[in-house]
Chain A
Amino acid sequence: MSAAIDVIGLRKSYGEKLVLDGIDLNVAEGTIFSLLGPNGAGKTTVVQILSTLITADAGEIRVAGHDLHKNPEAVRAAIGVTGQFSAVDGLMTGRENLILMADLYHLGKTEARRRADELLEQFDLVEAGKKLAMTYSGGMKRRLDLAMTLVGSPRIIFLDEPTTGLDPRSRHSMWTMIRDLVAGGVTVLLTTQYLDEADELADRIAVLDHGRLVAQGTPEELKRLAPGGHIRLRFTSPDAFSLAAQVLPTAAPNHESLVLQVPNDGSVHSLRDLLARIDDASLEVDELTVHTPDLDDVFFAVTGQPTQSTESTQPVEHEKVTTK
């Protein structure tokens, strides 16, 4: 599998403020890659650089096989971007917005109209398509925004916090759309501050904090990074409990509730190992629960801080889309 996005040593600072401090990324074609991090971590800056909107201070960047610095136009021809703030033309109708995009992709008059109507249908905007985009609700604007990104059938799509500010239903329909895109062979790089979103969608996740990648891997790999992954074994008889404590010396025993916590990463392999040892010793286990840490645990483990409280302690200026 070849790389849709390949980044080595990406750095960017605004004046004194270092925003990205040497980022390496590799996104395989046809996958969803999620940049996860709190506000101010530098996620939007990464998207702005990879989509040719702003320049990097240093770093080798290849997008769709093209050197971003030497050949930005070829990169632009291969990508689609849906930013954090809606990039629709409020004084035009939804349909006109889509036709505007189609004209800029030089689809030709008939094909432009066909494509616009097809996307209006696909994004449930047929009725709204006749109204000015400035009258749309947040969710509708976001759908139109994504539809506009898709007009040119880009191979790589950047989605900067695609569900921030959406209600739960719009959020789920956005997730479905993103999954459908990837099913069609598109590569998606999405940023999010929601752990469940990254977990739900991404093939690989990179955790960004203060301009550095603090962890990277599949959702499962990341979960295993967090301490506290364990199997909880509950016993009814004190005899079985003490026997088990001998058989499993690494376990943390709780004598009062007859519970053993066996450190375990939750993988099938290690679980099978554990079950084999329980079987060998003919232990009578009353209840077995697997506790896998969720991404909140991971975030805490790799950044040393919980996800929520970071918002107030970090500046957010450079998260805004700067167009000047």
Chain B
Amino acid sequence: MSTTMNPAGATIRPLADIGTMLRRNLRHAQRYPGLSLGALGMPVIMILLFGLIFGDTFSAGLGGGGGRGDYINFLTPGILLMSIASGTMSPAVAVCMDMTEGIVARFRTMAIFRPAVLTGHVLGNVILTIVSLGLVVGFAVLIGFRPNASFGEWLLAAALLIAVTVALTWFAIALGLTSKTPESASNIVLPISLLLPFLSNTFIPLDAMPSGIRWFAEYQPFTPIIDTLRHLLLGTPMDSGDGWLALAWCLAIAVVGYFWAQKSYNKGTVA
């Protein structure tokens, strides 16, 4: 348990406060499961829908004639990212609801570690997302996902997925804080939760896209991240810089999201 003293001798305990806020958020997920169940169920539906129903047809577009199994291998890393992306909606809505209720005003008048409230939301969402990713991998394997990754590659893939989750969650929370109502919070994260996964190489390779969309898909963050995941899990070739590019995107999104969120949270108050 880390403890720091501020000049007045008031004790601030970051880890204890973050833990308390995390427990609060997990309890909310348990009491109001609609939001989190939706976030858990959607990616599973996507993997089943695209893998089982569209898989045979879409596999033709990959070339190589590998059939449905090849397409499910191609699809799964993208769906993993999609689970992360669609999961960002619930923390965005949750922080917005928090801010519109009096409880956060109370927290802000208490001597607690300032970033604890938001960090609790982020950690809560990371835990839910890990569950969601586990479900997607489980269902993917059931319908024919056959990764050939070593243990080390699995670890790297997991680390990358968690890094993406942390980054996107901070960004979504920043967006949620700028929203005045929970409804607008759920809308404002749509570009992250829908646009980025669909306009990437999740479902089809870049070569198969019309040129304008292809240009966007090539330079948006999800594509190098998906390429890196495919490389780690399936041993597919990737551009040499993609791994670093993926990490750089995560870092950039996390830093912008974190500072933007903290700034919105502390706006107008005595920091």
Contacts and interface: CB of A to CB of B under 8 A. Distances in A.
Contact of A90 (B9, B101, B107): B101
Contact of B8 (A51, A74, A96, A104): A74
Interface stretch (B77-85, B202-210, B262-270): B262-270
Given A87-B103, A91-B32, A323-B104, A73 B269 contact: no
Interface string B212-254: 0000000000000000000000000000000000000000000
Contact of B109 (A51, A85, A92): A51
A104 B17 contact: yes
B152 interface: no
Interface stretch (B23-31, B39-47, B163-171): B23-31
B125 to A, nearest CB: 16
Contacts, number: 101
B109 A103 contact: no
Contacts of B142: none
Interface in A89-113: 89-92, 96, 100, 103-104, 106
B27 A92 contact: yes
A104 B9 CA distance: 17
A53 B104 CA distance: 10
Interface in A169-220: none
A152 B106 CA distance: 13
A90 B112 CA distance: 21
Interface string A144-157: 00001000100000
B185 to A, nearest CB: 12
Interface string A54-66: 1100000000001
Contacts of A76: 10, 109-111
Contacts of A106: 11, 13, 16
Contact of B270 (A52, A91, A324): A52
A81 B108 CA distance: 10
A214 to B, nearest CB: 27
A53 B31 CA distance: 29
B103 A89 contact: yes
B111 A88 contact: no
A5 interface: no
B109 A77 contact: no
B271 A91 contact: no
Contacts of B10: 73-74, 76-77
Contacts of A83: 102, 105-106
Contacts of B7: 71, 74
B192 interface: no
Given A73-B12, A77-B8, A85-B102, A91 B269 contact: no
B150 interface: no
B267 A324 contact: yes
Contact of B99 (A51, A66, A86, A324): A324
B20 interface: yes
B189 interface: no
Indicate the member of A132, A152, A323 with the most B CB atoms within 10 Å. Answer: A323
A68 interface: yes
A86 to B, nearest CB: 6
Interface in A14-62: 51-55
Interface of B: 6-13, 16-17, 20, 23-24, 27-28, 31-32, 99-112, 177, 180, 264, 267-271
Interface of A: 51-55, 66, 68-69, 71-74, 76-77, 79, 81, 83, 85-92, 96, 100, 103-104, 106, 132, 148, 152, 321-324
A-B residue pairs, 4 tightest by C-beta: A74-B8, A87-B102, A87-B106, A77-B10
